[in-house]
Structure 1
Amino acid sequence: MTRPLASSPAVLAAALALTAPLAPAQMIDVAQGPLNAAGTQVKPNIMFILDDSGSMNFEFMPDEVGMTKDWSRDTQRGEFMVGYWSAQCNGVAFDPSLEYAPPVNAAGAAYPNASFTAALPDGFRGSTATTNLPTNLNNSFYYVYVPYTGSPAAMSWTYYSSGAANESTVFYRECMQTMAAAEASGRFRKVTLNTADTSAEAVALRQKYANWYTYYRSRKLTMRSAVGRSFRSIGENYRVGITLLSDASVTSSSFLNVADFVDRSGVGSGLQRSDFYRLLYSAETVDGYTPLRGALSKVGRYFGKTYPGQSTDPVQHSCQRNYALLSTDGYWNVGIPTEPGYETGNYRPLKLDNSGLVGQQDGALDAPYRDSTGSNGGGGDSNSLADVAYHFWNEDLRPDMKDNVPATERDSATHQHLTTFTVGLGVRGTLTYDRNYLTQTSGDYADIVAGRKQWPVPTGTKDSSAYGDATHIDDLWHAAVNGRGQYFSASNPDSLADAISTMISEISKDSGSGAGAGTSTLTPVTGDDWIFLPSFSSSPSWYGDIRAFRFASDPLTGALIAPDTAEGKEIWSARRKLDARAEPRRILFGKPDGTLADFTYANLQAANLQGSFDIACTATKSSLSQCAMLSDAAKAKVNGPNLVSYLRGDTSLYMSQKITENQVFRTRSSLLGDFVNSSPVYLAKAPFKYADAGYSAFATAQASRLKMIYAAANDGMLHAFRVGESTTDSTGGEEAWAFVPRGVINGESMWRLADTTYEANHRNLLDATPVIGDVYDSTTKQWRTILVGGMGAGGRYYYALDITSPLQPQLLWEFTDGNLGLTFGNPVITKNAAGRWVVAFTSGLNNVGDGIGRLFVLDAVDGRLLQRVATPAGNATAPNNLGRLNAWVASETDNTALRYYAGDMQGSLWRFDADDRVAPSGTEAVRLGRALDANGTPQPIVGMPLLTETTTNGVATAIISFGTGRLTNIGDLASTGVQSIYAIKDTLQATGIGGSGDTQVALRHRDANLVQQTLVTSTGTRRVDPVNPVDWSLQNGWYVDLSLSSGERVVLDGVPLGSGVLAYASSIPNSDPCSSGGSAWLYQFDIGKGSVLAATSYSSLLVGIGRTVDSKGNISVVATARDQSLSLAASSAGVTTKSNRVRRTAWRELN
């Protein structure tokens, strides 16, 4: 029964609000990316440890190159060991094969090229002192190694465990001889540079040499240039700091706390990026030793906020990852008390709580972490760098915080911890390093993993050592393994830059699932048990993936079992397949004549559609952010043909740490765009049961059609992927073709994908789930399978393709209209009263033009506009903002739409009569009800209304149910207004429930005659108590408020489960950015009674729910969570309300 409103002043005011005129609509701010909690991104913390030890001044690498009787660069050059001047032996000697591009400043712009006749000795310091290279360096020269059969590779230094170089090797003997020696003669060729040769090749070589001299000549210069180039590509999605190896404090001017890696002005201003580059480029070396252990311990304690004197807390969120990037040219040691760099006081390998040294941390661990040489963890070493790394990985740095750091494949820890990456510059240990050591099946590291070899124990002199101990470099590698990072050995400027860039790319992969999983099990087909999980990742750059899984089933009951969706468990990954593809892609667009053509610049130009791609660094409309940092030669590459090539997948123009004229566009982690709100759609054989003439034969002909999924991504393309006929089919996950709709092209935003600021300025280019249906073409007298898609927040277009033949798509039409808004509304493929197959959709969000809400009805085959059915709501300044659409059909065998239903952002539920089937006379839109909360605030209706039917005393009643709430922008996350779920009947009269026009009362008003149900919490679940009876012959329905959790709302489409049961997923955004965006409840309602049959809670936001059926016909709800997990909830049974089959034509959308 209904609960009467009391007559207190407060309640009376609320009652008046429920009868007040509608508030004006408004433009909706629509997010251009996934909405995480409060719009807060959890950014990784990175502390870079810069080696400023005295050896960084050396102009040779490794140390052995300098072990001659006189290593002054200006004297006795004729007697000098030839290896000093050759990149074969010296990692910082001039190497003509390297680029030696100038370094970059904080803004990413390149330093000027050095002058060959007036070269600065240090290009990072202001100085008037220059060197005329051809004059002052005796006609500058270098040695080129002349290889021969069996010759040793460059930088093939090997060492004994004592740290001494192996002098018996051919490589050593060649490098450590003068040109007069037999072993050097014939192996090296001297190349002299001067200004006499004016050929282009000679001029370019002299420029390289000048740049090398000014920016790369020493270890210090190489480190500066390489690090600066590597950090150029990252921005405010990271929090970065820097500390010097010689600095034992966290408060000095040479210590930079981690902060957003960006220069800002105004509120929250700061020059973090500039300060980082200033310290990097200005730090001078300090004669002394190499206290790597103390430095790493300092960084660990800094993130734990336990370092003495520390006041800044670098950890913002409990799920934040913390990284140390340690690059060094030396072997760690303690030093001598009277020398700089001495490990003393707080600057020692101390524990997190400063109570003492870390001791032996890894002796009893499993391989590959342990360094034990005896039983029960005996042997090994204590207080090594690897011990420090393990301690700060293993210890909970912040016991006051929840342990919810996301685990990765290599790092399983969920407590707050330090992950350590290390790189050795020009130094090698006793172990043989392999760049791919993590995946190698043989070699030293593979032997350690298998237990066939132990990590060498750091030996030798730890207090001071002129040239170190090679086992300490092994320990540098071991530290990265214990710290769950990665070790790199760099032998020249390019390999150093590559190592640091790879470190950065491994950091902060903030991935999540943004849309519901598409499943192939909407109808019980034995063996057809695939499920496809879309996802997005926003770091290190935006990309997406669709991973394929298959349900398992219980051998006794046949019940489906959700697959493990952990990374690597998939049958195939569309992203990996696409990125590994060698053959050219087939990417299409629609020409004005209605045919498809290859998406190339030439074809776009022929179709007069190239304008959206004609970017240039001189343009004002679409000038790339990176233009300011490009050379003139690189700027010339910023043009339409190159942009289209880039969008097709050409990686040759990617920007990287190398600054060349070909590196002009943003580097993408993958060619596949992200899936934020778009779900994949599965299609194989014809899935419908139409009784129309000829359909049965068409369905039979399509019985063996290729299994495909179709997915719209924010790279601006609809992708068609092959599923594969089995789990072992190698074609599974292959892209068959892609299509760029006209709306994306005309939207003039695809160029943004090439902009280096795209990570912080993401755009939803094609972000709507397509719909697939079978239609009859009365012109050609044949059935077709068509796909219709919108753009979501990306634009105001719909497009349609014929995909009857999966590998040979045909363009049917592309549609826009001056009164069409952002196409969030789903297309519905159906028939009208005349038997014509049509596509219907609403005017969508922000429908500028006249702002009036409309239903559009198009011919399904040729896209001709047949009808516009207008609501009385909306105007040019306050558009109506209609949501998703559903159509009432009488039977699954006859897909004729009798009427349509949709809600809007003002809480109005509309019935559209496009064929004059119900009162009043003509085609019209009738508002069936107004959803307002108890204070009279409109409750937005975003999701698709669900349509069912109940029979009472032999009388059938049409029931329309819907949830309220929205989540379209960051501001919505903080909304705490009470939202509701409604089920109302449509009497098919000329007016809706509670009257019409501005005097129409809210659905919760007593005059609307709805029964109020109440949710309560009960033993970990939720239910309606009491269940107030609903008499559909006398009452107009029921509603229930979602008031148990602040901010709870319904923004996803509900799912009909049969037998009068409907599933709704609620969203509860959370202010904690570590909570996968919030939490959720999945409710199963008896739609006739208004009772909750089952309620399941989720600790992550749900991004989609769907329906799946096992081989025995049992229905389950598939729930996709933001954290990419999948779960199955069995459909409730024992429901007495009987319903006909679902009245929803679009239920096969798989969302």
Structure 2
Amino acid sequence: MTKPAINYLPLKRLVLAAAVMLPLSAQALDPNLAPHNVPLFLSTGVSPNFVITLDDSGSMAWSFVPDSICVSTTRDAGCDAKERRFKSSTFNPQYYNPNIRYLPPLDANGVELTTSFGTAWRNGFYTTHGSIDLDTQYRPQTSFYATGTGSSGYSGRFARHANGGTNIGDDIGSGKFFGNIGETAETKAYYYNFVSGLSGCDGTIGDDDCYQPVFVTATSGPATADISGDGIINAADQDERQNFANWYSFYRTRNLATMTAASRAFQDITPEMRVAWQALNTCTTFGTTCTGWNTATSARTDNRIRRYTAAHKADLYKWLFRLPADGGTPLRQALGKAGEYFKDPSGTDSPYAFDPQVDDDAAKRYSCRANFSMVMTDGTWNGNNAGGTIKSDSTAVALPDIFDTSCPAGTPNCVASPGYTPVAPFKDTNSDSLADVAFHYWATDLNTSLKNDVPRFPSTLDNVDAATLTAAYWNPKNNPAKWQHMVTYTVGLGLTRTLDTTTPKLKWDGDPHSSNMTTSSYKELEAGTLNWPSTAAATAPGKVADLWHAALNSRGKFFSAEDPETLNKSLKSIVNDVASKVGSASSIAANSKRLESSTRIYLASFDSNDWSGELEAIPLDPITGLPGTPVWAANANLPAPAARNIWTTSGGAATSFTGAFGGTLTSDVVNYLRGIKTNELPSGTFRSRTKVLGDIVNSDPVFVGGENFRLEVIPAYVTSYPAFVSSKSTTNMIYVGANDGMLHGFDTATGVEKFAYVPSELHSSLADLTDVTYPSNHKYFVDGAAGFGDAYWSGTWRTVLIGTMGAGGKSVFALDVTNPNAMDGTKVLWEFNGGAHASKMGFIPGPAAVAPFADGHFYAVFSNGYDSTDNQAGLFLVRVDDPSIYYFIDTKYGTAIAENGLSTPKLVDLNNDRIIDAIYAGDMQGNVWKFDVTDSSAVNWRIAHGTVAAPNPMFVAMDGTGGTAVRQPIQSQLGVTGPPSGVAGDAMVYFGTGRYFVNGDAVATDKQSFYGVLDDGSLTSYSTSYGRSDLWTQSIIYQAIVGTQEVRVTSNTPANWTTKKGWVMDLVPPGGALKGERVISPPLLRFGRVIFNTLEPSVNDPCLQGSSWLMELDAETGGNLSYAALDINGDGQFDSGDMINYTLSGSALTSAPAGVKSGTMTLNQPTVVTAGSKEYKFSSNVGKGIGVITEKSGSSAGRTSWRQIQ
């Protein structure tokens, strides 16, 4: 939850620290501060194995889909009746479609292959066999064979016309072909459009009278798609000659289209993914002699699984570009070979080797490595079965995790699976089917030498009760298997119409898990009210349905591609889908700080499979404080697209987010962002979404609901402010940014979106959200935390929300949210991008604060963020009523090789008059800055230490005191409270060091620390900063598992305020091993204790996502507490039973625990809700779980329990 970033001092007790910021951190520190484009906890996992199987059967040479439109017992016969429809994509989706942009293939280096209208390659992958001039020499064809010299051979040389039996040769000579234009002579390239209004047309696609010819020219195109590739649809797209040439050379047959689609999709495979490949009839073993139609020794490739290095990628493309088309369709056998390959347990050839074919370090055979297989085909399977004994989906099976003992007994992870009893939609009456093969390699532990900890999908299936886990097992959308298994993706080319001919007839709408019973049979199959068709006959249509069934049985996905464009997108979707996780990185908001019957918390989360987001309202049990079942989810309560109240800024003025905004932000893109799904796959070209709301990663939900900031203390507002508070809207709101380009405002009572805002900086990049490759090219948009406060100008009070964009942009915006029921363009106050100081603006994590200052005005205050152009740190103060009046206080610290940026500032009122006096903030170079804003003239505001020309930080955090000491970055907002009793000074400042947002930060192990330092109020008398040598030291002296919990004890060095200015504790366990532990969230300051979460990413074992420590220390000394603060024995009491007995240096000791370890990573400061003598601290973890810490108020605290929210 984002909390007001203001402290009112002097205080002699510790107060609640303010807002959680962007979850970022670093070590082994990269000096570059550009944020990574995906959450780091998703980037550190173990790369999967991926076996690719492509169809090289004879039908892949055909230039029509599906098979059923050209039925004959002999090849090619029956398609020669001068039929126009074959030359129209309406009837034959393989033929040229003027509404599709045909992108050329890419070679292994990502360079596009070329062709042209005047010199169009017969085979764009093998140009040796010449070209034709599409302006004069075009003839359609039905097939294109790959090797040999006769009509029965299959090579890159020979094309066949529609009446069969004629070997046309290199020049594609005379002969019949589809249709009646130029039947016996070469002609200009052409296609047919389906026009239902033509004379004699009966309105069906099978009637040749419904087709009108179009000759391809510079002006023949309909200009309905951006076929020119210039980013806009205009008159230039009428010239379809190059587009037709691309289709002719790279797409006109199934084989060519597959090679092209694969060449583009396989560019998206990351270098760390481990890839192997095979075909159905050639390259059928995993070794070093894999070839396509070119069987020369020089054409051999190594298709064994290994990392997708440049060399391995080059081998894949060498094979791909010579993919033949000859033989049958033994899919079952090929899928079985892939599954058997994943059973190789050890050795450098093993898929589980640390670096296959290079290094088989046994300690690095990671048990969490997932196995994926992709099978692409254009027809029904035949030929040999998989071999061996196959577990059938119609037979009961004991699943491997029944015997799983990889986690401690009694924990939710160890709930035994129920085993498999035949159940829909998995079971059928078929035997030895492709679905059975897929089921077998899902239900079998493929490597029994490894423990079973493959990540479940979604990850929320961890830590659930038995009933929930059992239900999840039989939902095909989920994959609960933790054992080593194979997930299979299937792709059918041109097979959708065949599903309509099965018995029973199946409906397909492009979504393998569609809930639309009008367009899809999935819900009936799932319920068991519809059975899978038979696969018994040699050409049974049920074998096409078996592709869908096989994907569901293995918890993969089925794609049916009717045209080359959809095939391209399907293959890309599979590549992008092989690593799916669900997480939550933002903090939790609450509608009350006291536990009552109406108290709720608000949890934001995301699914990285399609980067969708969710916000849920979760009630708290008024007795136990535990979270209940969500009462609403935001996606279910979004208004209809046309009814959504979305605004943006264009040309400096607020405007409704409708229509087109120029460039790539077309009206179709705007409609997509509003929630219209008609242009999504499979019917359209935009990326399909499971939810409209985008991922919410680093933007903390902020609750706005009638807050009273006690501003009547200021004499000018003694009357007006109470009146404003009493008149505040009774509609409480939650505001949160999402990476769909919007800041959203939701009614807390109903979950209905009342308002959304799109920052104008994003206009040029919003179209990226529609791209089908977006899942593997995620970007941040509105990813920063919002802040709010009350402000007064022009005789009126307002509640102002300040939005930041985090890693999504370098702008800040202000909205008037006084009345959330009347939000319109007039409530968009301003956008700010730095003005004359734009080079100072970086990615601002937020939140900004709104507060009154000594010059009589209210300001929005925020850091300059990270990765600014000038690489330095500084503070922005922007007048809320007039953003053209702003002040930038420059620290002048940072360089291109030591980039800097200010972290979220903390505003402090030192004398309790509600006017801000000082602002504290850390930076990425370990500096702690104090900004003096006490002067009544804003131009005199400055850094408190040093001079204006040469400012000094108050303190510098370093990991040592010698000449080799390294600066420690400060990412988190500081915690500030009054100094200890009897100690002179302005404040105590608390903070931890560390960074977690730059690529590489997750595996860094630099030493980080936690500090409590005194600001003694010296101001300009400081000529130099102070640091570690001015502090006394605490340390972690004991760490061990006690009972079932790992705990810590720290030292208890007494305070020494005579010669020192505070304390430091290094986050280093006994023994001195650096494990990358760090602090990236603000501390809590309560009842004389400083409470903070540390983050410890898994550096040595990437199968472990990481962990966190909850630390509770004496705030004045930094030492171990003298009383039990945590219930480590679980008896509900906080007494001697929770003390730790241990031996240190030969002495038997007893101490209270100073820290307790959690097995999940927590990135945020907890949200606190009190209940009488108890208080509850709620935190989100990266698996979408909610951590609940129950404590007694005052001098004792309670136990930790974790509850996972689905």
Matched residue SS, 1:896: coil
Give TM-score scaled by structure 2 length: 0.68
Pick the aligned partner of 1:888 from 908, 921, 934. 908
Amino acid paired to 1:701 = S
Aligned position for 1:349: 386
Aligned position for 2:704: 683
Residue deviations 1:60-109 (CA, integer Å, cap 9, x gap): 7666766658765599x66x9x8996999986786989869576444566
- Contact 2:975/2:1082 (<8 A) preserved: yes
Q: How does 1:563-602 map to 2 (within 5 A)?
A: 571-574=632-635, 581-583=641-643, 586-589=646-649, 592=652, 595-598=653-656
Pick the aligned partner of 2:725 from 693, 699, 724. 699
Identity between Structure 1 and Structure 2 (%): 23
Pick the aligned partner of 2:326 from 286, 289, 294. 286
- Contact 1:1057/1:1063 (<8 A) preserved: yes
**1:739 matched to 2:758:** yes
Matched residue SS, 2:915: strand
Alpha-carbon distance in structure 2 between the residues aligned to 1:842 and 1:1101? 26
Matched residue SS, 1:412: coil
Give TM-score scaled by structure 1 length: 0.71
Total equivalences in the alignment: 973
- Contact 1:520/1:528 (<8 A) preserved: yes
Alpha-carbon distance in structure 1 between the residues aligned to 2:676 and 2:171? 41
Aligned position for 1:768: 784
Alpha-carbon distance in structure 2 between the residues aligned to 1:949 and 1:1030? 16
Residue deviations 1:1003-1062 (CA, integer Å, cap 9, x gap): 3x3x54566675644623434345344476886443322111624444433243632333
Amino acid paired to 2:1106 = G
Distance 1:96 1:319, change over 3 A: same
Pick the aligned partner of 1:270 from 288, 299, 311. 311
Matched residue SS, 2:1189: strand
Aligned position for 2:625: 560
Amino acid paired to 1:363 = T
Amino acid paired to 1:933 = D
Distance 1:975 1:138, change over 3 A: closer
Q: How does 1:818-967 map to 2 (within 5 A)?
A: 818=837, 820-822=840-842, 823-824=844-845, 826-833=847-854, 836-845=857-866, 851=872, 854-863=874-883, 881-889=901-909, 894-915=913-934, 924-926=943-945, 927-936=953-962, 937=965, 938-949=967-978, 952=981, 958-967=987-996
Aligned position for 1:407: 457
Deviation at 1:1125, TM superposition (A): 1.9
Aligned position for 1:1054: 1082
For structure 1, the residue ranges without an aligned partner over 5 or more in a row are: 1-24, 156-174, 176-186, 263-267, 335-342, 351-355, 461-466, 604-612, 614-637, 727-731, 1138-1151
Distance 1:531 1:642, change over 3 A: closer
Q: How does 1:568-717 map to 2 (within 5 A)?
A: 571-574=632-635, 581-583=641-643, 586-589=646-649, 592=652, 595-598=653-656, 674-692=695-713, 693=718, 694-711=720-737, 713-714=738-739, 717=741
Distance 1:988 1:1013, change over 3 A: farther
Pick the aligned partner of 1:129 from 171, 180, 188. 171
Pick the aligned partner of 2:505 from 422, 429, 432. 432
Pick the aligned partner of 1:970 from 983, 994, 999. 999
Amino acid paired to 1:349 = A
Aligned position for 1:1103: 1163
Deviation at 1:561, TM superposition (A): 1.6
Deviation at 1:896, TM superposition (A): 2.4
Alpha-carbon distance in structure 1 between the residues aligned to 2:219 and 2:780? 50
Aligned position for 1:420: 488
- Contact 1:904/1:940 (<8 A) preserved: yes
Distance 1:237 1:962, change over 3 A: same
Residue deviations 1:514-542 (CA, integer Å, cap 9, x gap): 332333334556524131314363x55xx
User: CA RMSD for the aligned pairs?
Assistant: 5.4
- Contact 1:1011/1:1037 (<8 A) preserved: no
**1:1022 matched to 2:1047:** yes
For structure 2, the residue ranges without an aligned partner over 5 or more in a row are: 1-28, 121-133, 147-155, 159-169, 223-237, 292-300, 356-365, 400-417, 459-476, 946-952, 1127-1154, 1198-1206
- Contact 1:546/1:573 (<8 A) preserved: yes
Distance 1:1134 1:1017, change over 3 A: farther
Matched residue SS, 1:697: helix
Distance 1:856 1:91, change over 3 A: closer
Matched residue SS, 2:916: strand
Alpha-carbon distance in structure 1 between the residues aligned to 2:310 and 2:193? 50
Deviation at 1:970, TM superposition (A): 3.0
- Contact 2:218/2:240 (<8 A) preserved: no
Alpha-carbon distance in structure 2 between the residues aligned to 1:868 and 1:1040? 34
Distance 1:586 1:118, change over 3 A: same
Deviation at 1:985, TM superposition (A): 3.2
Alpha-carbon distance in structure 1 between the residues aligned to 2:272 and 2:690? 15
Aligned position for 2:828: 810
Alpha-carbon distance in structure 1 between the residues aligned to 2:219 and 2:1050? 90
**1:48 matched to 2:52:** yes
Residue deviations 1:811-844 (CA, integer Å, cap 9, x gap): 1562445373524575333333455433444455
Deviation at 1:146, TM superposition (A): 9.0
Alpha-carbon distance in structure 1 between the residues aligned to 2:980 and 2:482? 53
Matched residue SS, 1:1104: coil
- Contact 1:588/1:597 (<8 A) preserved: yes
**1:1042 matched to 2:1067:** yes
Residue deviations 1:655-686 (CA, integer Å, cap 9, x gap): 9899xxx97x9888877555443323221323
Deviation at 1:416, TM superposition (A): 2.6
- Contact 2:1007/2:1067 (<8 A) preserved: yes
**1:245 matched to 2:261:** no
Alpha-carbon distance in structure 2 between the residues aligned to 1:847 and 1:72? 64
Alpha-carbon distance in structure 1 between the residues aligned to 2:379 and 2:310? 37
Alpha-carbon distance in structure 1 between the residues aligned to 2:876 and 2:1156? 38
Residue deviations 1:548-581 (CA, integer Å, cap 9, x gap): 2313315xx2x322357xxxx782244x766972
Aligned position for 1:1122: 1182
Matched residue SS, 2:285: coil
Deviation at 1:698, TM superposition (A): 1.1
- Contact 1:600/1:645 (<8 A) preserved: yes
Deviation at 1:925, TM superposition (A): 1.7
Distance 1:281 1:331, change over 3 A: same
Matched residue SS, 1:695: helix
Deviation at 1:924, TM superposition (A): 4.8
Aligned position for 1:29: 33
Aligned position for 1:297: 336
Amino acid paired to 2:798 = R
Matched residue SS, 2:917: strand
Distance 1:1012 1:58, change over 3 A: closer
Alpha-carbon distance in structure 1 between the residues aligned to 2:542 and 2:665? 54
Aligned position for 1:478: 549
Deviation at 1:961, TM superposition (A): 1.6
Deviation at 1:221, TM superposition (A): 5.4
- Contact 1:769/1:789 (<8 A) preserved: yes
Alpha-carbon distance in structure 1 between the residues aligned to 2:619 and 2:643? 32
Q: How does 1:156-167 map to 2 (within 5 A)?
A: none
Instruction: Identify the range of structure 1 (700-709 vs 505-514) with the bigger mean alpha-carbon deviation.
Output: 505-514
Amino acid paired to 2:324 = E
